[in-house]
């Protein structure tokens, strides 16, 4: 069976290219994971969600994917954080590895095939450094080992930076043992209070960049297909990865490079210096996880994304619309047999449109647009069906519902049971708006009695009273239910 035609934007060539994996039918993916010195922020979460969807979609399209995402558990930031808390660096890193796993599960991320830690791969790191030293591309200096950038002619081919400009902006700092300003550390000599390991150059620990070269080679080979990460990793991290990996192996490191755009807070780039860093687990106390995923996917992964209250509220109301639609459809067709026969219109076109969007550089926003058409048709068929044939409508709704399940496996959305999701959503909105649930239930019961008595004027009055309290009621085949209405300025 022929593989689908997928294109992706390659940062290395700065153009879209067809995905042609080294081994037909198999894609090897490496994504730079978190440095586990604290909880991840929503910018990290956006990057990891984007690549989560890339991996899911490749598998959906039939590729055998090997997905590796590492943990950096040996790093200057970890050592600094451990000194501040009084913990051992390894213990602090282990604690935040588990915190990351909890956050990733909460955001519906699939677990990578391999999640290697730096501390478990010191032998592989030492081995690749030794290769570089033996080839004369790296040198030892008083217990440190540095990569000699001048010995790698293709340096900066990913970032497209001018080496003369880089040299002008760098200098050898006091205490550095490197020969040239652009040379970077592969191994750092041990210092008091820092974790260290034995090596041919004395006790010490890895530099930042070498870890990904060693771990990707260990699990994906010296050459693999896709390397991903955030935009700010292009230089120096990914640039240095390429130099040291290709300097050691003599082979192309990664065929395709994918980078996720920045996430801004109300228009300002999220950064600690600005004091506007939002931790993922804090965000998830205020917004539903699937709504946050929807928000991340509503903008193309390569483009900047603005994290604003209005945008997050819109995402929640949009997810509420999706789940309300699914609830109605499930009530109509779940467990029913409508027999075999034709379908109304061309319901399969929406899945084809979704696939076409995702085939084009994993364009999730266009995929979501196709999904909106699918949900629109489901609402039309449940609320005002254009045909009277109930079996025809039922078969079509079942086909559309199955397509939603397929898309769900790609996007990590619509994974919950609709009634449960809607109830959680309502409970959160009730707390935020200070609505008295007991009073709402009482007024709904009174309205139901008025309707039974055919006192429609009283039923309408009670509906209006509920609306004034911020409550919207829905009369369904299963009975009357209600939700917290969207404020007029926030309605989707």
pLDDT of the residue at 492: 40
Domain ranges of the chain: 7-260, 309-416, 421-484
pLDDT digits (tens, 9 = 90+) for 100-158: 999 999 999 999 999 999 999 999 999 999 999 999 999 999 999 999 999 999 999 99
Which CATH number is associated with domain 309-416? 1.20.120
Question: Is residue 1 pLDDT above 60, yes or no?
Answer: no
Nearest-CA neighbor of 157 among 14, 289, 263, 330?
A: 14
* pLDDT tens per residue, range 433-479: 899 999 999 999 999 999 999 999 999 999 999 999 999 998 877 78
Binding residues for Zn(2+): 32, 212, 237, 241
Q: How far apart are CA 282 and CA 39, in angstroms?
A: 10
Binding residues: 32, 212, 237, 241, 272
Instruction: Answer whether 199's CB lies under 8 Å from 228's CB.
Output: no
CA distance 343 to 166: 62
Q: What is the CATH number of domain 7-260?
A: 3.40.50.620
Q: State the angle between helix axes of 364-383 and 309-333 in degrees (0 to 180), rounded to the nearest 10.
A: 40
**Is a pLDDT exceeding 80 seen at residue 269?**
no
Binding-site residue set for ATP: 272
Both structure tokens of 240? 């240095």
How far apart CA 266 and CA 54 sit, in angstroms, is: 27
Q: How confident is the model at residue 271 (pLDDT cuts 50, 70, 90)?
A: low
């Amino acid at each position: 069976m022929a593989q689908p035609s997928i294109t992706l934007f390659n940062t290395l060539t700065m153009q879209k290219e067809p995905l042609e994996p080294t081994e037909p039918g198999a894609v090897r993916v490496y994504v730079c994971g978190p440095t586990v010195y604290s909880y991840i922020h929503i910018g990290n979460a956006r990057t990891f969600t984007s690549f989560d969807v890339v991996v899911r979609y490749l598998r959906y399209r039939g590729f055998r994917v090997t997905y590796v995402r590492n943990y950096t558990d040996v790093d200057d930031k970890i050592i600094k954080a451990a000194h501040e808390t009084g913990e051992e660096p390894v213990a602090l890193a282990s604690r935040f590895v588990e915190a990351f796993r909890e956050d990733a599960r909460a955001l519906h991320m699939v677990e990578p095939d391999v999640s290697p830690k730096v501390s478990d791969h010191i032998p592989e790191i030492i081995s690749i450094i030794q290769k570089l030293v033996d080839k004369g591309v790296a040198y030892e200096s008083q217990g440190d080992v540095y990569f000699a950038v001048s010995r790698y002619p293709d340096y900066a081919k990913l970032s497209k930076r001018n080496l003369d400009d880089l040299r002008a902006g760098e200098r050898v700092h006091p205490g550095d043992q490197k020969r040239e300003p652009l040379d970077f550390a592969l191994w750092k000599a041990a210092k008091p209070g820092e974790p260290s390991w034995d090596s041919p150059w004395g006790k010490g620990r890895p530099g930042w960049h070498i870890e990904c070269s060693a771990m990707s080679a260990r699990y994906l080979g010296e050459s693999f297909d896709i390397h991903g990460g955030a935009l700010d990793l292009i230089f120096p991290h990914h640039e240095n990865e390429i130099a040291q990996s290709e300097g050691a192996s003599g082979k192309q490191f990664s065929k395709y490079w994918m980078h996720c755009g920045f996430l801004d807070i109300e228009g300002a780039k999220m950064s600690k210096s600005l004091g506007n860093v939002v931790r993922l687990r804090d965000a998830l106390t205020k917004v539903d996880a699937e709504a946050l995923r929807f928000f991340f996917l509503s903008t193309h992964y390569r483009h900047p994304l603005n994290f604003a209250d209005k945008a997050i509220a819109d995402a929640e109301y949009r997810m509420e619309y999706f789940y309300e639609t699914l609830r109605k459809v499930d009530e109509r067709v779940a467990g029913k047999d409508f027999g075999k026969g034709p379908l109304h219109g061309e319901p399969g076109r929406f899945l084809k449109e979704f696939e076409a969007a995702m085939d084009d550089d994993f364009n999730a926003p266009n995929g979501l647009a196709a999904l909106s058409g699918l949900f629109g048709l489901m609402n039309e068929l449940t609320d005002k069906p254009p045909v009277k044939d109930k079996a025809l409508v039922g078969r079509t709704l079942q086909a559309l519902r199955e397509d939603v399940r397929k898309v769900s496996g790609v996007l990590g959305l619509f994974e919950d049971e609709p009634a449960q999701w809607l109830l959680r959503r309502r409970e959160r909105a009730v707390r935020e708006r200070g609505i008295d649930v007991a009073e709402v239930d009482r007024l709904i019961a009174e309205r139901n009695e008025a309707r039974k008595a055919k006192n429609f004027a009283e039923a309408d009055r009670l509906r209006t009273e509920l609306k004034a309290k911020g409550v919207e009621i829905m009369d369904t085949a299963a009975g009357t239910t209600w939700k917290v209405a969207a404020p007029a300025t926030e309605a989707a």
